[in-house]
A = this chain, B = another copy of it.
Amino acid sequence: MSKALERRAKLREALIEAAERAIATKGLGGLKTRELAQEIGVANGGVYNLVEDVDELILRVGSRTLARLDASLSLAEIGAAAAPREMLVRIAVAYCDFAADNLELWRALFEHRMQPGKPVPEWAISEQMELFRHIYKPLAVLFPQRSPTQLGVTARSLFSAVHGMVALGLEQKLIAVPLGALRSEIATLTRAMVDGLTAKKE
């Protein structure tokens, strides 16, 4: 790598890390490219030599968040009982814990919308999809007769349901839910969903 390219790569990493810190402390609304430029020591416009636009910057931060979420879920799986039902419970609770510990970065994953008419790039979609394997694998053991497409739909439904509990639980908009109670409710409902779906065996 040439000196210039090396310098650019380093600056780009510094930019993404600065954006990550800004989102983590102030949320997506607190991201100001002008401040980031100052922080890493480039001219205001210089940010756009490092990333295409703010969308790409936010997606790169999201990529780091997803990688850490992936690691947290993988960690939760280690030492889990072999039973896929309890595996799914551990994954759901680990998801809740990750969201609670990384509130603003996790929120940014869902709050960010691309500029109108601009699609989410393929690399970002495939990183998101990759995470579904944590849910997909235990489901495949529970429902060996289901097709990959059907398993994909069920994985998405389970994820969405748990995500909803985490999102509204942490938002504390209606009723404040202490984290311990939220974790226990998530475990209860995940077991219920698995039991209900298994009993049906459609």
Hey, which bits of chain A sit against chain B, CB under 8 A? Answer: 110, 120, 125, 128-129, 152-153, 156-165, 167-169, 171, 173-175, 177, 181, 185, 188-189, 191-197, 199-200
By secondary structure, the A interface counts as: helix
Q: Which residues of B contact A161 (CB under 8 A)?
A: 160-162, 164-165, 189, 193
Given contacts A110-B173, A163-B164, A195-B199, 13 further A-B contacts (CB under 8 A): A128-B174, A153-B185, A156-B168, A156-B175, A157-B185, A157-B188, A159-B168, A160-B161, A161-B193, A164-B167, A188-B197, A191-B200, A192-B197
Identify the interface centre among A158, A177, A188: most chain B CB within 10 Å of its CB.
A188
**A to B CB contacts below 8 Å, 15 in the list:** A110-B173, A129-B174, A153-B181, A156-B177, A157-B188, A160-B161, A160-B169, A161-B165, A164-B164, A164-B165, A164-B167, A188-B197, A191-B196, A192-B197, A199-B199
